[in-house]
Amino acid sequence: MTTTPTERDPEERLRAGFDATIARHDRIEPRDWMPDAYRRTLVRQIAQHAHSEIIGMQPEGNWIGRAPSLRRKAILLAKVQDEAGHGLYLYSACETLGVSRAELTDLLLAGRQKYSSIFNYPTLSYADVGTIGWLVDGAAICNQVPLCRTSYGPYGRAMIRICKEESFHQRQGYELLMTMMRGTDAQRAMVQESVDRFWWPSLMMFGPPDAQSPNSARSMAWGVKRNSNDELRQKFVDMTVPQAEALGVTLPDPDLRWNEERGHHDFGEPDWEELAAVIAGNGPCNAQRLAHRRAAHEDGAWVREAATAFAERSAGAGAR
Amino acid sequence: MSGDRREWPLYEVFVRGKRGLNHVHVGSLHAPDDAMALRHARDVYTRRNEGVSIWVVRADAITASSPDEKDPLFAPNGDKVYRHPTFYEIPGDVPHM
């Protein structure tokens, strides 16, 4: 007696359909069947990404009130507003996996979901606004461009919107730094000092080395991730070195040099213990970032309640 | 924590990129009512002239085909190849066809 596909275990049939979609490099959509582990991985990754955008508003928001000109202030406001928008695109994508917005907010505020380690570093000078645009958003772009082809449809579509907007973020940062480099010695020193502080944390944004990244292989097999951490880190270094030269700053790595044989730059090892400490909650600003986010959420409660009450009253009035 | 814990309903957002194009789904958002949903949609999805018109609709008002029924639902047109122009063989030297 032969077994036709319809007689097989329904879950096995669904899994075969899922595997075939992934193998075709086709997209998985919200109402498709997917393995629980795939759903959990996506929720974790997209939520972490969304939280990063939202927490990422803080380091730069710090300088809105002190931007040196109206032009710079308008740019910075637009940029920070974009970060909020990116967070919302990603929360919206994450919700298609069956988690609620309130749940995601609670998990962030309770410290049970992470955000990018980079936002736990302080912005000590105005030059940091430029450096974040150039290096941090530059690293984010390296990470995010391949994610436009990620296997989960809503995530990929959110990434396409985000990548279009990130290009403005990186360019405004680089232009800001170029302007400062044409200024006084003190301004040039400010840029160099800022780059010195942000270089290594930017390299850490790609995550631990491949050998220590346990979930990477599975995420690659599912097409959630398209490149390994080390590949992307190398790509970022290769892209950034000529930009640093054009800017006239030194990248603080004595081991950084062109390797003719590999066709890539060699570079030093980031301090992985520092990354582990920041992820574990012991970076310079972890407590401050979460406290600020909690306060903002609590301070906004009356607005949410008032809007709900107004909507209910209007609906009631319409029904009468 | 009275009203705070109740989540605003989910809206799906559709944007017409420019005149002459259809509205296209761009994502979703939460809002307390239709009017606020429109305003949020403008702020979240059209910060760079991405649209000339926005539709918002409560997600729970949408009826969708089930992915499980995909094959049976779309089967009736699967075997009607004669609905496509390429089904018909026309000699290559017949003009404007």
Summarize pLDDT for A187-208 with one digit per residue, the tens: 999 999 999 999 999 999 999 9
Best of A97, A167, A304, A312 to disrupt the B interface (most B CBs within 10 Å) is A304
- Give the tens place of pLDDT for each residue, A106-154: 999 999 999 999 999 999 999 999 999 999 999 999 999 999 999 999 9
Least confident among A60-64, A252-256, B51-55, B77-81: B77-81
pLDDT category of residue B67 using cuts at 50, 70 and 90:
confident
Confidence class of residue B4 from pLDDT cuts 50, 70 and 90? Answer: very low
Q: What is the DSSP letter of A248?
A: T
CA separation for the pair A309, A304 (Å, rounded): 9
Percent of chain A with pLDDT over 90: 89
C-alpha of A81 from chain center: 15
Range from A164-168, A186-190, B23-27 carrying the lowest mean pLDDT: A164-168
Distances (CA, A) of A201 to A86, A204, A265, A278, A283: 22, 5, 18, 10, 11
The tokens for A296 are 């903002």
Residue of A nearest to B43 (CA): A85
Kindly identify which residue of chain B lies nearest to residue A34, measuring between CA atoms.
B67
Query: Rounded to whole angstroms, how far apart are CA atoms A117 and A281?
Result: 9
pLDDT at A8 over 80: no
Please list every residue in chain A whose beta carbon sits closer than 8 Å to the beta carbon of residue B43.
85
Q: Quick one: pLDDT at residue A127? A: 98
A69-116 residue pLDDT tens: 999 999 999 999 999 999 999 999 999 999 999 999 999 999 999 999
Pairwise CB contact (< 8 Å): A309 & B43: no
Using the predicted structure, report yes or no on whether residue B3 has a pLDDT greater than 70: no
Give pLDDT tens digits for B28-64.
999 999 999 999 999 999 999 899 999 999 999 999 8
The answer to whether A81 contacts chain B (CB < 8 Å) is yes
User: pLDDT grade, residue B73 (50/70/90)?
Assistant: confident
pLDDT band at A58 (very low <50, low <70, confident <90, very high): very high
The answer to whether A93 contacts B27, with C-beta atoms less than 8 Å apart, is yes
- Interface pTM, i.e. ipTM: 0.88
Stretch A216-245: mean pLDDT: 94
**pLDDT confidence of residue A10:** 83
Mean pLDDT over A58-71 rounds to 96
φ and ψ of B10, to 5 deg:
-90, 135
Of B4, B7, B47, the CB nearest to A100: B7
Asked if residue B27 has pLDDT above 60, the reply is yes
Q: Provide the shortest C-alpha distance from residue A48 to chain B (in Å).
A: 18
Q: Give contacts of A315 with chain B, Cβ < 8 Å.
A: 33
- HSE-CB for A55 with a 13 A CA cutoff: 28
**Which one has a higher pLDDT value, A216 or A92?**
A92
Provide the residue count of chain B: 97
| Residue B37 DSSP symbol | H
Looking at residue A311, its pLDDT comes to 93
Out of A135-144, A209-218, A302-311, least confident range: A209-218
Q: Give, in degrees to the nearest 5, the angle at Cα B69 between B66 and B73.
A: 105
Q: How confident is the model at residue A315 (pLDDT cuts 50, 70, 90)?
A: confident
Establish if A158 touches chain B: CB-CB under 8 angstroms.
Answer: yes
Determine the average pLDDT of the residues in A26-53.
95
Neighbouring residues of A158: CB distance < 8 A, sequence distance ≥ 6: A86, A89, A90, A92, A93, B27
CB-CB neighbors (< 8 A) of B2 in chain A: 305
Q: Identify the CA nearest to B30 among candidates B53, B50, B56, B52.
A: B56
The nearest CA of chain A is from the CA of B55 a distance in Å of 17
| Site from A15, A97, A305 to mutate, B interface, most B CB atoms within 10 angstroms | A305
What was the pLDDT predicted at A11? 86
A301-318 burial: b if 16+ Cβ within 10 Å, else e: eeebbebbeebeeeeeee
pLDDT, greater one: A276 or B77: A276
Whole-number Cα distances in Å, A59 to A100, A178, A245: 27, 21, 26
pTM here is 0.91
By Cβ distance, the residue of B36, B44, B67 closest to A307 is B36
Residue A216's alpha-carbon distances to A82, A183, A209, in angstroms, are: 29, 44, 10
State the nearest Cα–Cα gap between B12 and chain A, in angstroms.
Answer: 10
Q: Do B3 and A304 touch (CB under 8 A)?
A: yes
Contact list, B36 vs chain A (CB under 8 Å): 307, 311
Average of per-residue pLDDT values in chain A? 94
Contact criterion met (CB < 8 Å) for B29 and A314: no
**Residue B2: per-residue pLDDT:** 37
Count the Cβ atoms, other than its own, within 10 Å of residue A46.
28
Instruction: Please check whether residue A315 touches B, CB under 8 A.
Output: yes
Max distance between CA atoms of chain A, in angstroms, equals 85
A88 touches chain B (CB under 8 A): yes
Residue A33 has pLDDT above 90, yes or no: yes
* Residue A51 pLDDT greater than 60, yes or no: yes
Give me the residue from A29, A301, A310 closest to B32, CB to CB.
A310
- Using CB atoms, which residue from A96, A102, A309 is nearest to B3? A309
Residues 6+ apart with CB under 8 A from A162: A86, A89, A90, A144
Which residues make Cβ contacts (< 8 Å) with residue B2, sequence separation at least 6? A305
3-state secondary structure of A24: coil
